[in-house]
Structure formats: C-alpha cells, structure tokens
C-alpha cells in the first residue's frame, strides 16, 4: 500500500458509526452493550485523527504553516504529524480496550443511571484489568482476538515507541538536527583507546515510521472489526431500522416498560448497587476471579 488515500478506500472505519447507540438500543439491549457501543464514537473520533495526521505527511504545500518549504522545514512539520499519528493510534488502542471493558461489565443499569460512575469506570480500564475480566466472564473468543492483536510484532513495536516517547524520552527524527554517540575527538592513554560516550535519543525515520503506522492501521481496523463481530447481537442490524416513535402501540409499550424499569432501579437499587459494584470490580477482582463471583443482572442480586 503506497498512500493513506488507499487506506480510506480499503478500510472504511466510518461504517462503524452505525453501532453508536440510539434511543431504541437503550430499550432493546442490555446496559453493558449500550455502554460499550457508546465508546465507539470516541474510538472513531481518535482513529480518524490518527489517520488524518498520517495523511498530512503526504501534503507537499503546507501554506502558512511554514515560512519556507525547504527540506528542513518540511521534515520538521512532518515529524510533528508522525508523532501526532503515533499518539492517536495508541489512544485508539485504549478506546478499543474500553469498548471491550464495558462489554464484559455487569449488565445492570448502574452505569447508565449514573454518568459520573460511567466515566469513573472508564478511567479504571487498563489491559491488566481487562484480561482479568475476560477470564472471569469466560470471554474466550474475545480474549483470543485481543491477544492476537496486542502480541502482533507491528503492534508491539508501535506500542514500544509510544511508551518510550511518553514515559522515558523524546525521539530524535533522522535528518532533523544531529546527535553524536561519542566525542568528536579520540583519546588514547598509553596503549588503550578510551571511548568517550555521549547520550543519545532513539531515532526514528519519518518514511519508515509512516510505513509502520500504515501497517498498524490495517491491523487495528481488522482487530476492531473482529471485536464488533464478537460482541454484536444477531438482531442489531434489524434494530438500526427501528425507532421508538414509528412502531405504533407496541413501541410505546416498550418505552413505558423501559421507563418503569429505570424508575424502579433508581428508587430501589441504585444507592446499594454502588457498594456491590465496587466490591465486584475494584476491591475484590482477584477474589472474583478465584471464587467465580459474577454480577449478571438485577435479578441475580
């Protein structure tokens, strides 16, 4: 694949916006699925920025962004865009984890009834917790999909460079300034040549990193498409065509039943459920794993 434009033609992620939940999905599907699909819009947002940043590498005229369009200035601005793309692609991984994280979360209405807790729960998502929850809930196929993606050589390299940049040091872009790994003069003491080392930063080359990120983009698209295949109910496509306002008497009956369910939940269970939820997901995750304690829905409590 030669250009980012080909990526858009080959891997059209905009088709994922059909999964963003509408009102009828709140009525028809369990709360954990709604919570998971709600994160898809965040993922699309980030993924589109990553690919857009990658596409900006192929621009030849940056207008007023550059005072001079010579080799050094072009390399500088493209270095900026390659860093942006790398950061956004790695955030997209985190967003995909959150989709899975909410899917394997309790299906009760707790997180939908409390927006603050929904956002708080998202902040607790990391790969360690995600793996434990997938094991706890016996999500074997989903775990296999995630493992296959995360352990891919290209994905691990992109993750490694990102974590290096994020936690340890800046990166040196080849051709953008110089760095030396030793003194410019050599010193010999007696018969011994003394190496005088200098500190350096890990180097990236823009075109090489662009190729790596394009390969990553394809792998990420295929990975998340598989995630959607695993978690999407068989009747989801049919539900897209429905609206709570155009299905007649049955539609309003379903709406009123859902409203009654939400009212009852908020009045009778919401306050107590926070304690149960925290125990199950935060305080005793290891206990849950060992004893197979499992919250599934309101009726089981």
Neighbours of 295 (CB within 10 A): 19
The pLDDT tens digits for 88-111 are 999 999 999 999 999 998 767 888
Strands (E), the chain: 172-173, 187-189, 192-194, 203-204
Q: Is 125 left (phi over 0), alpha (psi -120 to 50) or beta?
A: beta
Backbone phi and psi for residue 188, each to the nearest 5 degrees, phi listed first:
-120, 125
Q: Is the pTM of this model over 0.75?
A: yes
Cα dihedral 213→219→222→224 (10° resolution): -80
The pLDDT tens digits for 146-198 are 999 999 999 999 999 999 888 877 888 888 888 888 888 888 898 899 888 88
The pLDDT tens digits for 64-94 are 898 989 888 999 999 999 999 999 999 999 9
**Token code pair at residue 253:** 């009956």
Per-residue pLDDT, 249: 54
Per-residue pLDDT, 161: 93
Mean pLDDT, the chain, as a whole number? 85
Can you tell me the distance from the alpha carbon of 139 to that of 294, in angstroms, rounded to the nearest whole number?
Answer: 13
Using the predicted structure, report yes or no on whether residue 248 has a pLDDT greater than 60. no
3-state secondary structure (DSSP) of residue 116: helix
Can you tell me the distance from the alpha carbon of 5 to that of 9, in angstroms, rounded to the nearest whole number?
Answer: 7
């Amino acid at each position: 694949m030669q250009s980012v434009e080909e990526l858009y033609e080959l891997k059209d992620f905009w088709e994922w916006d059909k999964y963003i939940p509408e009102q009828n999905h709140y009525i028809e599907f369990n709360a954990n699925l709604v919570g998971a699909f709600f994160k898809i819009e965040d993922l699309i947002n980030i993924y589109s920025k990553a690919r857009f940043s990658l596409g900006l590498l192929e621009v030849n005229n940056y207008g007023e962004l550059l005072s001079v369009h010579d080799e050094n200035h072009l390399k500088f601005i493209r270095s900026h865009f390659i860093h942006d793309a790398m950061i956004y692609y790695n955030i997209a991984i985190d967003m995909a984890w959150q989709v899975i994280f909410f899917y394997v979360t309790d299906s009760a209405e707790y997180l939908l009834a409390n927006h603050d807790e929904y956002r708080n729960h998202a902040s607790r998502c990391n790969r360690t917790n995600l793996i434990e929850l997938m094991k706890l809930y016996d999500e074997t196929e989903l775990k296999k999909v995630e493992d296959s993606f995360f352990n891919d050589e290209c994905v691990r390299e992109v993750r490694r460079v990102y974590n290096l940049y994020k936690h340890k040091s800046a990166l040196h872009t080849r051709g953008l300034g110089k760095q030396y790994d030793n003194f410019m003069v050599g010193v010999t003491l007696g018969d011994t040549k003394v190496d005088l080392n200098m500190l350096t930063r890990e180097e990236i080359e823009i075109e090489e990193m662009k190729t790596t990120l394009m390969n990553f983009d394809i792998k990420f698209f295929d990975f998340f498409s598989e995630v959607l295949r695993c978690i999407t109910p068989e009747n989801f496509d049919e539900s897209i065509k429905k609206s709570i306002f155009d299905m007649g008497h049955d539609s309003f009956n379903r709406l009123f039943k859902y409203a009654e369910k939400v009212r009852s939940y908020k009045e009778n269970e919401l306050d107590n459920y926070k304690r149960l939820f925290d125990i199950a997901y935060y305080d005793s995750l290891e206990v849950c794993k060992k004893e197979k304690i499992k919250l599934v829905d309101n009726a089981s409590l």
